[in-house]
Amino acid sequence: GLHALPGAEGFDRTMGMIDCGADETKENLTYFEWYCRRASLLDELDL
Protein backbone atom coordinates (compact mmCIF):
# COMPACT_ATOMS: atom_id res chain seq x y z
CA GLY A 1 0.00 0.00 0.00
CA LEU A 2 0.90 3.65 0.03
CA HIS A 3 0.18 7.00 1.62
CA ALA A 4 -1.15 9.45 -0.95
CA LEU A 5 -0.58 13.16 -1.13
CA PRO A 6 -3.94 14.98 -1.35
CA GLY A 7 -3.47 15.75 -5.05
CA ALA A 8 -2.97 12.06 -5.87
CA GLU A 9 -5.99 10.60 -4.06
CA GLY A 10 -8.26 10.84 -7.11
CA PHE A 11 -5.72 9.03 -9.25
CA ASP A 12 -5.34 6.24 -6.69
CA ARG A 13 -9.13 5.77 -6.58
CA THR A 14 -9.28 5.76 -10.38
CA MET A 15 -6.65 3.01 -10.39
CA GLY A 16 -8.95 0.90 -8.21
CA MET A 17 -6.98 1.17 -5.00
CA ILE A 18 -8.89 0.78 -1.74
CA ASP A 19 -9.16 3.92 0.42
CA CYS A 20 -8.32 2.81 3.97
CA GLY A 21 -8.81 6.26 5.47
CA ALA A 22 -6.56 8.84 7.06
CA ASP A 23 -3.48 7.63 8.93
CA GLU A 24 -2.92 9.77 12.03
CA THR A 25 0.66 8.53 12.30
CA LYS A 26 1.50 9.85 8.79
CA GLU A 27 0.22 13.45 8.93
CA ASN A 28 -3.34 12.24 8.22
CA LEU A 29 -2.42 11.22 4.69
CA THR A 30 -4.91 8.79 3.16
CA TYR A 31 -3.63 5.23 3.04
CA PHE A 32 -4.46 3.15 -0.04
CA GLU A 33 -4.07 -0.60 -0.57
CA TRP A 34 -4.02 -2.77 -3.68
CA TYR A 35 -6.15 -5.86 -3.43
CA CYS A 36 -5.92 -8.77 -5.80
CA ARG A 37 -8.09 -11.73 -4.90
CA ARG A 38 -6.21 -15.00 -4.99
CA ALA A 39 -7.90 -18.01 -6.49
CA SER A 40 -9.27 -20.26 -3.81
CA LEU A 41 -7.68 -23.60 -3.07
CA LEU A 42 -10.76 -25.30 -4.52
CA ASP A 43 -10.27 -23.42 -7.80
CA GLU A 44 -6.59 -24.37 -7.85
CA LEU A 45 -7.47 -28.04 -7.33
CA ASP A 46 -10.19 -27.75 -10.00
CA LEU A 47 -12.89 -28.97 -7.59
pLDDT tens, residue order, the chain (47 aa): 999 999 999 999 999 999 999 999 999 999 999 987 666 777 777 66
The pLDDT of residue 47: 61
Q: Where are the beta strands (DSSP E) in 1-47?
A: 2-4, 18-23, 29-33
H helices of 1-47, in order, are 9-14, 41-44
Largest Cα–Cα separation, the chain: 47
CA distance 21 to 13: 12
